[in-house]
Amino acid sequence: MEILITNDDGWGAKGILTLVRILTQLGHVTVVAPDGPRSGMSNAISVQQPMYLRPLNDPNWGSEDWHSNATVYTTNGTPSDCVKLAIDVIFEGDPTRINLLASGINHGSNAGINVIYSGTMGACFVGAEHAIPSIGYSIDDHNPEADFSFFEPYILELTRHLLEEGMPYGVCYNINAPVGPLEGVRWTRQCRGFWQKEMEERTDDNGNKYYWLTGEFVNIEPEEEGTDIWAMTHHYISVHPCTIDQTAYAEI
């Protein structure tokens, strides 16, 4: 089994290292990850800059048994670029050679409206475009030292289950875990909500006003049991099937 792993926090993040350690149990892992943080990159692609693809040259890499079952590359591109580089350069234009695309584990939730901004999920949408079974994993904790221990046993189980079930063309999965002890797993839909008060006004050293992205999330339907955010606030892992088909069919 050949597994492609990427993320949007960069190759050095604890989340991707955890995911590689877990998924090397299922097969050989190829990592193509950004060379630094690329959060909030959505499905952005590098149309105006050269992309480099470099084998990782890190003396610590290779020090664990499971490292020998992984090959690691980094790039200056986005998470979406990572998947495209993997398909076209490493797998020679043949996406069917990739049995699973796993993205994450993201440091931060990608539930609700966050899915449209997420670089983690952007990578999965590229996978789904190419009919690669694709799963994004995120935890609701931005801490670089986030504790994945409660989430870990579910990752292997859910990944195996979703691969067995299969995914129709264009479908991928957005798996989000809350922190701490977990009650189990819920299949969910995307919660409706929006970000507000996103622009914090600041002043630079030259006295010019600028804005820094921040904000607070407003949940439009906090009591609805079927949503991804409901699941997470009730200590469940949210398994959210997503599609790259953004058609609003009711409006045609």
DSSP helix/strand/coil, 212 = strand
Least distance in angstroms from the C-beta of 67 to a second copy: 25
Q: Which is nearer to a second copy, 20 or 239 (CB)?
A: 239
Least distance in angstroms from the C-beta of 37 to a second copy: 7
Least distance in angstroms from the C-beta of 215 to a second copy: 8
Cα 220 to chain centroid distance, Å, stands at 24
Q: How far apart are CA 190 and CA 20, in angstroms?
A: 27
Q: How far apart are CA 115 and CA 174, in angstroms?
A: 8
Residue that is written with structure tokens 């992205």 in the block? 213
Report strand pairing: 100-107 vs 216-219: unpaired
152-165 helix and 14-23 helix, angle to the nearest 10 degrees: 60
Least distance in angstroms from the C-beta of 225 to a second copy: 13
Cα–Cα distances (Å) from 99 to 85, 111, 117, 195, in that order, read 16, 25, 25, 36
Q: Which is nearer to a second copy, 28 or 192 (CB)?
A: 192
Q: Which is nearer to a second copy, 27 or 170 (CB)?
A: 170
Q: Which is nearer to a second copy, 31 or 115 (CB)?
A: 115
Least distance in angstroms from the C-beta of 172 to a second copy: 8
Least distance in angstroms from the C-beta of 65 to a second copy: 32
Q: Which is nearer to a second copy, 117 or 150 (CB)?
A: 117
Q: Which is nearer to a second copy, 164 or 204 (CB)?
A: 204
Helix (H) or strand (E) run with residue 128 in it: helix 119-129
Q: Please, are residues 88 and 134 in contact by the beta-carbon 8 Å criterion?
A: no
Amino acid identity for residue 140 in this structure: D
- Of the candidates 131, 108, 117, which has an alpha carbon nearest to the alpha carbon of residue 79? 117
Least distance in angstroms from the C-beta of 68 to a second copy: 26
Q: Please, are residues 107 and 15 in contact by the beta-carbon 8 Å criterion?
A: yes
Q: Which is nearer to a second copy, 22 or 173 (CB)?
A: 173
